Structure formats: C-alpha cells, structure tokens
Chains A and B, each alone.
Chain A
Amino acid sequence: MSTYPYIKVQQDDFDLTTEVAKLREGHTDIGAVVSFVGTVRDINEGDDVSVLELEHYPGMTEKALEKIRLEAHERWSLESSVIIHRIGKMYPTDQIVLVAVSSRHRENAFYAAHFIMDYLKTNAPFWKKETLPNGEERWVDARLSDKDAEQRWQ
C-alpha cells in the first residue's frame, strides 16, 4: 500500500493537482487515477443558498472515513487513495470534498471512488446547515436516495 493513503478533515481548501500528484508519487504501477470533487451549489430544495456550514464529530469522522477508505482498498486492490473533507463555512462554488484513488486498471478506480462517496454520504458524521439569502438558517435533511446509493454496494 502507498505511503500516501490517508484522510484529512480541514477548514482549508485543497488543490486537486497537488493531491493527485501526491497520490501518484512513488508508484510506477498505476494505470488509472479517478478523482471526485464535491462543490457547494447555490440552490437546494428549490431555494437559493448563500452559505453552507459543515459540522462534524471530531474523532468519529476520521475513524469512519478511514474505515471506508480501507474497505475500498480491500475490495478493489487500490494502489493509493485520499479523502479530504472540509468543515466550517463555505460558499457557492467552493470545493467541499475530494476523493481520489489509483489502481492498475481503470475499472477498479472508477468503482472505488464511487463506493467511497456513496458510503461517505451515509456513514461519515458530517452535517450541513444552509443559510438562505434572507438570513434564514436550516439543517439539510438526509436524502433517501443517498441510502439507496449505499445499498447498491452490499
């Protein structure tokens, strides 16, 4: 397994190019890199969104993300992987989450990145609160479709 398999929970933004370069560092047997970047939309449930605030459960978050990451390694023989999730206040177009994985062949990398995101959505203890333009704040409700997305991997 790589010297760069890890998870990060941070307020700071991340740079895709830098992270993918680190993911590939020291590997000559990688044939595929798949990355996913989640970003803040300016609309949710039909309403404009001005601010998105991410809260998490320190300690459990890292443990949950690492568990998901290691399961992906086991199921798809990944060479390396990284999960970065931001917390705190974010604004429309900001990056929220990065998942990047590498493997020898593309199929495993595609599946693994998809799996990690689906599991992260329903298993990692993060909560979103959005602020509307009129100042109203509301907690984002969990989607049933996210639970369905998780089920397909079982």
Chain B
Amino acid sequence: MVNVLYFASFREMLGKADEQLPANHSTVDSLIVELASRGDNWKQALLDNQNLQIAVNHDVANRQTEIRAGDEIAFFPPVTGG
C-alpha cells in the first residue's frame, strides 16, 4: 500500500485528507493518471494543474519520481507560509 495525502485547497476540492491505495504504480505520474480518472475535480487538481506540488516521503518530488510500497505521497498547491 501507499499512503496518499492531500493538503489545503486540494483537501477541500477532493473531499479527503488522506487514503491508502494499493502500491500498483511505479511512478507518481502513473498514480496521478489513475486518480484523475475519478472525476473532473481530480483531473483538474492533479492532471491539468501546472502548479501541482508533489512530495514523496517528505521530500519535494515530481511526476517522474519513482514510488513503491510504504511510500507517503502528498499532493498540494504552492505553499504560502511565512
């Protein structure tokens, strides 16, 4: 399994903060494609979004980053702290 997290406006738009999914993707990109097939809001947030931010195991990642069982993958909008 992989743990997938959604933060800030993504959490609200997608209606969930986190979920466990089977580890049947080898890259973030492949996972995004599956998630985007859930509906328009998923496609808009993850697939069509030029500003999508990704982290794998707490490190900044991108769509080409490889993933495996046990990983924590997070999707979020650009950060606005400080």
The reply to whether B80 and A127 form a contact with Cβ atoms under 8 Å apart is: yes
Q: Nearest Cβ distance between residue B45 and chain A, in whole angstroms?
A: 13
Contact of B79 among A63, A96, A127, A129 (CB under 8 A): A127
The reply to whether A125 and B76 form a contact with Cβ atoms under 8 Å apart is: yes
Q: Looking at chain B's contact residues, is the secondary structure mostly helix, strand, loop, or mixed?
A: loop
9-residue interface stretch from A21-29, A106-114, A115-123 = A115-123
Q: Nearest Cβ distance between residue B49 and chain A, in whole angstroms?
A: 13
Answer yes or no: B22 CB below 8 A from chain A CBs: no
B:1-22 near A, CB below 8 Å: 5, 7-9
Inter-chain contacts of B81 with A (CB < 8 A): 54, 56, 85, 97, 120-121, 124-128
The reply to whether B82 and A127 form a contact with Cβ atoms under 8 Å apart is: no
Answer yes or no: B38 CB below 8 A from chain A CBs: no
The reply to whether B82 and A139 form a contact with Cβ atoms under 8 Å apart is: no
Interface centre among B51, B60, B74, B80 (most CB of A within 10 A): B80
Binding site for B on A (CB under 8 A): 38, 54-57, 59-60, 63-64, 85, 96-97, 117, 120-129, 139-142
A sample of 11 more A-B contacts (CB under 8 A), given A57-B7, A60-B74, A126-B81, is: A54-B81, A57-B55, A60-B59, A63-B58, A120-B81, A121-B81, A124-B81, A126-B80, A127-B76, A129-B8, A140-B80
